[in-house]
A and B are shown apart, each in its own frame.
Chain A
Amino acid sequence: MLIIKDLQASIEDKQILKGINLTVKPGEVHAIMGPNGSGKSTLSAVLTGNPAYTVTGGSVEFYGKDLLALSPEDRAHEGLFLSFQYPVEIPGVSMVNFMRTALNEKRKYFGQEPLSAADFLKLMREKRTIVQLDNKLASRAVNEGFSGGEKKRNEIFQMAMLEPKLSILDETDSGLDIDALRVVANGVNTLKSKDNATIVITHYQRLLDYIKPDFVHVLYKGRIVMSAGPELALELEEKGYDWIKEQVDSQQ
């Protein structure tokens, strides 16, 4: 579904991604790990079209379409979802209003009628149980006054509502205690199917105990320098990144 070829990107003239190659197929879970500053979050920002970043080379194909030519909202409509590392607060905008706008925009994109208020609320009730958010959610403003755990659960809730084909979880485990981590991971696993795929960006093996990856990639200095099966995550947990850094740096 996703074919990234030699993707390069910069922010404020600083080159961050220096040629990423990655292919993701339906049903797969890919973990992207790597030390701080290696470009993990940049990759998610560039794929979702964050205007702060400039693509300076390469291509990204998403279900045969040129992803980079699409606006951020159209990428979302096409089935790309980002669970933000730092979910943004939008004061005064209720979750129900926000999600209904989002969902109906997607329906419009596909020529469907907007969902009725009753159907929408029913859907919202159903989906919020996946991440154990209570019924106050609907009336609360987007992420405003949410605890760190609630914010991450709210991201997965939105993912459940929008039913993306490819979800990128950007350090969804950061700032979560073990119970919240389990809730979030269970949510993600519940939503997993043979038709969708997930890219998990994380520093730690911890999350991968719950969300089992099929592939683990190490991102370092803007490139994927190592790819292997789930055992790589365990190895990294044990040995850290230094051995990879040394290996890469010595080759240069």
Chain B
Amino acid sequence: MKEIEKPEKGNQIIEEAAQAEYKYGFVTDIETEVIPKGLDEDVVRRISALKGEPEWLLEFRLKAYRHWLTLKAPTWGHVHVPEIDYQDISYYAAPRQKKQGEVKEIDPELKKTFDKLGIPLEEQMRLSGMAVDAVMDSVSVKTTYRERLAELGVIFCSISEAVKDYPDLVRKYLGKVVPYTDNFYAALNSAVFSDGSFVYIPKGVRCPMELSTYFRINAAQTGQFERTLIVADDDAYVSYLEGCTAPMRDENQLHAAIVEIIVEDRAEVKYSTVQNWYPGDKDGKGGIYNLVTKRGLCRGDHSKLSWTQVETGSAITWKYPSCVLKGDHSVGEFYSVALTNNWQEADTGTKMIHLGKNSTSTIVSKGISAGHSQNSYRGMVKIAPKATGCRNFTQCDSLLLSDTSGAHTFPVIEVGNDTSVVEHEATTSKINEDQIFYCNQRGISTEDAVGLIVNGYAKEVMAKLPMEFAVEAQKLLSVSLEGSVG
């Protein structure tokens, strides 16, 4: 008597938790300057002093800090952020670079780290047409192509350098889109932010290469609080990419970033993220808490901001890249793939705030949940009474790969006038056993089949990513699901 091995019905896609190795989980052995754990006004002053900041910025930080003290961590997300002891975190960690003769020379150990991550810091080794700002823990270690971009008037540097070199620009825009009063984590970031990227594209300039920031957490028991500010002046264009990884550690680490974008008349910004922070192990131990505030202001008429994100990492993700569509005929877009496996929790989505007349927005969100994970889409479409003739299209799909995972949607729609049109489509589906068997019959293993099907499902969003990222992101989706199939 023979029996074909029969996987548990309806439960085929799970059971074995991720054996998938997190490829980026190594630790760089480099001397790191870490300030002692804890947070008070002196720590804020010390960070500011370490960075040699002007008085106005210290004031900004202190105001933020004092405001933060009055706030409580938000609890409305469909995630379980445990009580974080903010006195048990170090707020500044900088890899100490050995002096290499020339001031701009990068430490070989750091270079090795970024090479290992596939991020070349030597310009001749560059990915075609991409400039990189590499941020390790609290500081930017290298920005490539800075000089070449400067010839066009494009400013691309770490925000610390920008504070020194372009104080007026930074002061003009910092905190204008995400004020420190915005929310708990935004206030915290505004008080202790360490580094991040600054981009300014002058009037009429189309940035000739992709700009990207690569964030790496290395030091233990530290938080990363970076801040990115992108300004596209009239008729400018830039495509910006962001990537993130962290070592595998048993303890959770906090990442609370802010991204602010200002888009002036007829300018366009494309912001793409491939988020692959360490998600924790198969039992849900460790991983990054990714609590991020990202928002862009389409201030100019006919301005356009497009967010594309592929979120596969982090133990907890809480982020809503949003567009404030202030300009008439301005355009906001949000394309998202969020994949959760094992015990990951993601609560992500967007806000489209229509203030300008005839502004339009598109939201395409694809959630994929495997293992015991929880995956939520949270979105708001708000059309102000005076913003007539607006349009929004929202498509919000969930794909469940297991019976023990959850998919949730929390959409809010407020339309303040009757000349605007809002459409919302939503689907929830389970991966289909017939599809998997069809692939099996053609010689494709179940694991590869799930990878194919998931990538097919996410294709509409993946197609929005720049080429260099799209291939990586595709692999990432498959790898993140390895072992999720029983």
Contacts and interface: CB of A to CB of B under 8 A. Distances in A.
Contact of B441 (A68, A76, A97, A99): A76
A117 interface: no
Interface stretch (A102-110, A121-129, A217-225, A227-235): A102-110
Interface stretch (A55-63, A192-200, A207-215): A55-63
A92 B457 contact: yes
Interface of A: 46, 48-59, 68-69, 71-73, 76-77, 81-82, 84, 87-93, 97-99, 101-103, 105-106, 109, 141, 158, 162
B146 to A, nearest CB: 37
Interface stretch (B1-9, B182-190, B299-307): B1-9
B438 A90 contact: yes
Given A71-B440, A73-B440, A98-B444, 6 more contacts: A69-B2, A73-B441, A90-B452, A97-B452, A102-B443, A103-B443
A101 B456 CA distance: 13
B441 A48 contact: yes
B459 A73 contact: no
B452 A98 contact: yes
A50 B437 contact: yes
5 contacts: A54-B4, A76-B443, A81-B441, A91-B456, A93-B452
Interface string B285-320: 000000000000000000000000000000000000
Given A49-B4, A55-B4, A106 B443 contact: yes
Contacts of A103: 443
A92 B3 CA distance: 35
B210 interface: no
Given A77-B443, A92-B456, A101 B448 contact: yes
Contacts of B7: 51
B3 A54 contact: yes
B457 A72 contact: no
A73 B444 contact: yes
Nearest to A144: B456
B443 A92 contact: no
Contact of A105 (B3, B445, B453, B460): B445
B4 A162 contact: no
B432 interface: yes
A33 B6 CA distance: 28
Given A88-B435, A90-B456, A55 B3 contact: yes
Nearest to B7: A51
A206 B306 CA distance: 56
A76 B438 contact: no
Nearest to B454: A92
Nearest to A168: B441
A72 B456 contact: no
A152 to B, nearest CB: 14
Nearest to B438: A88
Contacts of B460: 92
Greatest chain B CB density within 10 A among A57, A68, A89, A91 is at A91
Contacts of B448: 101, 105
Greatest chain A CB density within 10 A among B7, B438, B448 is at B438
Contacts of A55: 2-4
A96 to B, nearest CB: 12
Nearest to B453: A90
Interface in B110-130: none
Nearest to B440: A72
B392 to A, nearest CB: 24
Greatest chain A CB density within 10 A among B4, B439, B444, B458 is at B4
B431 to A, nearest CB: 11
B442 interface: yes
A92 B459 CA distance: 6
